[in-house]
């Protein structure tokens, strides 16, 4: 639940808030060169947990995802040039599987962008095409006071409107939300819980997703294991 207090946080600008949040989550400044191995369990309403194992190698610019879903194993590789390789149950998918299971290069790139963005926050808000609103607002998010940062993107990057919520004392990220159409109150919000701390990175541990319109629970991503190599 989010309530605006209509009190501007004039003592800090949007870029200053982002810099302080990055200093909290990436105090060693090694996100851009780190190799990060993650194991994540995703639980959604009415479905069994789906386990994903991935490697985000920022130094090489590569990404690997292994996903076990409904008894089948999917693997995706993306290199720094956006070249991809896909396997289905340890074999290259045939044309029927490519079509029926959407095992395409575009799907691999979407997974890469999705996971590197969410698990790279707030550092990813320094990426080209990101527009950080200079005005910071004090709000209530999940019954706690937060500093809210509004972010939009250049048209070539994305069209969604994002709000990121930070603890006003530590600048830890506590949640975020996005809208496709803010006036329609569509989109979702995500509540963060816990923190995985390793080798100079602080990554939020669990992420629970809700709809903006009716606060309906969609699911939770549980960070089971994280390994960071500089």
Q: For residue 168, what are the β-bridge partners?
A: none
Average pLDDT score, the chain: 93
CA–CA dist 11, 219 (Å, integer): 36
CA–CA dist 74, 92 (Å, integer): 10
CA–CA dist 117, 124 (Å, integer): 6
CA atoms within 13 A on the CB side of 168: 17
CA–CA dist 28, 13 (Å, integer): 23
**Percent of the chain's residues with pLDDT above 90:** 85
pLDDT at 146: 98
Q: What is the pLDDT of residues 137-173, one digit of tens each?
A: 999 999 999 999 999 999 999 999 999 999 999 999 9
Q: How many domains does the chain have?
A: 1
CATH number for the domain spanning 169: value is: 2.50.20
Q: What is the pLDDT of residues 164-174, one digit of tens each?
A: 999 999 999 99
Q: Smallest Cα–Cα separation from 215: which of 155, 153, 141, 117?
A: 141
Predicted TM-score of the model (pTM): 0.91
Residue 76 near residue 93, CB atoms below 8 Å:
no
Residue 202 tokens read as: 């602080």
> Residue 151: which domain range?
2-229
pLDDT at 218: 96
* Cα-based distances in Å from 153 to 135, 209, 226: 16, 22, 29
Q: What is the pLDDT of residues 73-82, one digit of tens each?
A: 999 999 999 9
CA–CA dist 89, 76 (Å, integer): 12
């Amino acid at each position: 639940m989010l309530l605006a207090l209509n009190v501007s946080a004039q003592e800090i600008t949007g870029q200053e808030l982002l810099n302080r949040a990055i200093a909290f989550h990436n105090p060693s400044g090694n996100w851009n060169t780190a190799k990060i191995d993650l194991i994540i369990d995703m639980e959604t309403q009415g479905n069994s947990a789906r386990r994903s194992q991935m490697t985000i190698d920022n130094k090489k610019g590569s990404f690997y995802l292994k996903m076990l879903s409904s008894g089948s194993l999917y693997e995706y590789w993306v290199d720094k040039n956006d070249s991809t390789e896909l396997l289905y149950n340890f074999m290259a998918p045939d044309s029927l599987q490519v079509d029926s299971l959407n095992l395409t290069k575009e799907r691999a790139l979407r997974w890469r962008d999705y996971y590197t963005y969410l698990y790279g926050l707030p550092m990813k808000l320094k990426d080209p095409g990101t527009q950080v609103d200079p005005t910071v607002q004090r709000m209530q998010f999940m019954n706690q006071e937060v500093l809210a940062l509004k972010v939009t993107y250049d048209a070539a990057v994305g069209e969604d409107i994002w709000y990121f919520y930070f603890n006003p004392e530590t600048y830890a990220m506590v949640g975020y939300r996005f809208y496709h159409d803010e006036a329609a109150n569509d989109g979702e919000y995500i509540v963060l819980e816990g923190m995985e701390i390793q080798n100079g990175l602080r990554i939020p541990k669990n992420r629970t997703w809700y709809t903006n319109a009716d606060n309906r629970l969609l699911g939770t991503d549980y960070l089971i294991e994280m390994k960071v190599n500089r």
